[in-house]
Structure formats: C-alpha cells, structure tokens
C-alpha cells in the first residue's frame, strides 16, 4: 500500500488526500496517517513544483566532468563546499570512473555557460581537468523513482 501511495504522489504531488485515498482504495483517514508516517520516516523528503527550464529561460543542459589533482579528504571537502555555493549547479555527483565529479547545469546559452565557467568553475579547488558536454535533446527525464 505504501508503494502505491508513493507511486501516485510522485506523479501528482498536489493531489488531495481524498483523491489519493480513492486512487489507492483506502479510507481518507488511513491514507492521511500513512502519508504522515512516510513523511516522518523520510520516505517523502518534501514536495516541489517542477519548473519548465525553457519557460524559465534556461533551455540548455550542460554536463561538466571534472577530475581533481588528488582525492585527499581536504581537496574533496573544499571542492564540495565550493560547488554547493554555485547557484547554477542543479546536481553534483562524486563518480567512480574516469571523472571524479559530474555537474549538471541549466543555462541560457553558450555565453551564459561561459560566464559560469569563468566566474565559478575555473575557481573550483583541486581541479586538474574539466570537460563540458551540451545536451542536444532530452530523450527521457523523470523525477519518479521505481517503487
């Protein structure tokens, strides 16, 4: 039942409790209690509005692969602290493989990315190499986890 609730909420976060209860065939009070428990236990981290990047003037997605000069704890910590302060970074992941980190950014265009590159990316501590790739088209995108 919890998985059914989570599946519906992932797709329709603004659904009313009554509609959610009906969708999963539960009473409204039982549904409300379960959702509260899922929130309290951390299965549901929050509720958000997903904005359209094109409408927001940020139609270009850029992935930046970064390799650090060393993977000492001090460098990793300094890098991660600095990345968290860059408002244009949507995601940052520590990687296994050829790159140490991969960043995802939504930008206006190549000029906007050049500004971010100059202002922030070139100043990140410990970076030895950086490679940027521009997405030509998004084929599949979801925020829903398989439940």
Give 62's contacts (C-beta < 8 A, 6+ positions apart): 104, 105, 106, 107, 113, 132, 133, 134, 135
Q: Where are the domains of the chain?
A: 2-40, 60-134
Region 8-32 average pLDDT: 97
Q: Which tens digits make up the pLDDT trace of 63-119?
A: 999 999 999 999 999 999 999 999 999 999 999 999 999 999 999 999 999 999 999
Any idea which fold 2-40 has?
Arc Repressor Mutant, subunit A (1.10.10)
- Residue 129: predicted pLDDT: 98
**Domain with residues 60-134, CATH architecture:** 2-Layer Sandwich (3.30)
Q: Which tens digits make up the pLDDT trace of 100-109?
A: 999 999 999 9
């Amino acid at each position: 039942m919890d998985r059914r609730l989570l599946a519906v909420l992932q797709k329709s976060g603004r659904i009313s409790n009554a509609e959610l209860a009906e969708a999963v065939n539960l009473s409204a009070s039982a549904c409300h209690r379960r959702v509260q428990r899922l929130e309290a236990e951390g299965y549901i981290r929050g509720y958000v509005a997903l904005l359209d990047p094109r409408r927001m003037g940020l139609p270009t997605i850029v992935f930046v692969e970064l390799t650090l000069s060393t993977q000492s704890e001090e460098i990793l910590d300094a890098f991660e602290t600095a990345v968290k302060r860059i408002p244009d970074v949507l995601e940052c992941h520590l990687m296994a493989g050829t790159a140490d980190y991969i960043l995802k950014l939504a930008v206006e265009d190549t000029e906007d990315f050049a500004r971010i590159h100059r202002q922030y990316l070139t100043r990140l501590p410990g970076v030895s190499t950086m490679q940027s790739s521009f997405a030509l088209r998004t084929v599949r995108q979801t925020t829903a986890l398989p439940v």
